[in-house]
Amino acid sequence: ENARNAFITAAYFNPENVYGHWKVGLIMHLLGHFNLALIRYRKAIELNPNFAHVYCDSAIIYEKFDKNEMALDYYKMTLLLQPGHLNALLNMLFLKQKLGQYDDIEVFNTVLRIDEPDAFQIHLDFANFLYKEFRNLDVAILHYEKALTYDNTSVEIYLCLGNICIKLNNSKDALRHFYMAIQLDSLCLEAYINIGSIQKDNNNFVDAIHAYETILKLKPDFP
């Protein structure tokens, strides 16, 4: 019923109105009528082949239909028309990851240059994705550090950076990040655990003992 009403409404707007077709397509998409949405998106593209948003919205539907190569083509077209289109950048990277394609470093760098009001959360989410799902540690570090330029009080980020540095065998920077986490949260158990382990491995037994003593104060039943 809602879909029918939307199409009736669409009949009244100017048939050459690109935004009208796009908006009706968005409504169809929200209602789950994906084929009807694609009809409207195609019409919008026909009227204005340079309308980046429509290509991205079309790509999202093609993903739902498992037409992944078509989706990638439409994401790429979106970025050709609007290189900083955030949804297209992130969606394309997620799709590439799902398909096992790990070659698009330029897209990573494009996202790194994003500077928007919600840039902190964008870079944090993207860094977490790169670290935990994509296993691209070097680029994840760049995005965590970029996020810190917007908010340098995130304990989560310092812990992630410390853990990445451990994986990269960089104990010096790992310790720096974990100590920063403790400065922000003196009860941060994970930071003390990692500090104790690193100091023990580096034969800095006094510092290791101090870390473990703090752990036991925070968590007396720590194994």
b (16+ CB within 10 A) / e for 29-64: beeebbebbbbbbebbbebeeebbbbbbbbbbbbbe
Q: Which two tokens stand for residue 19?
A: 């935004």
- Tens digits of per-residue pLDDT, 159-203? 999 999 999 999 999 999 999 999 999 999 999 999 999 999 999
Domain residue spans in the chain?
A: 153-222
**DSSP letters for 5-43:** HHHHHHTTS-TT-HHHHHHHHHHHHHTT-HHHHHHHHHH
- Tens digits of per-residue pLDDT, 81-124? 998 788 898 888 788 878 877 666 667 667 767 777 778 988 89
Cut 0.85: pTM above it: no
Does pLDDT of 6 surpass 60? no
Let me know if domain 153-222 sits in CATH 3.40.30.10.
no
- Tens digits of per-residue pLDDT, 37-61? 999 999 999 999 999 999 999 999 9
User: What is the longest distance spanned by two Cα atoms in the chain?
Assistant: 78
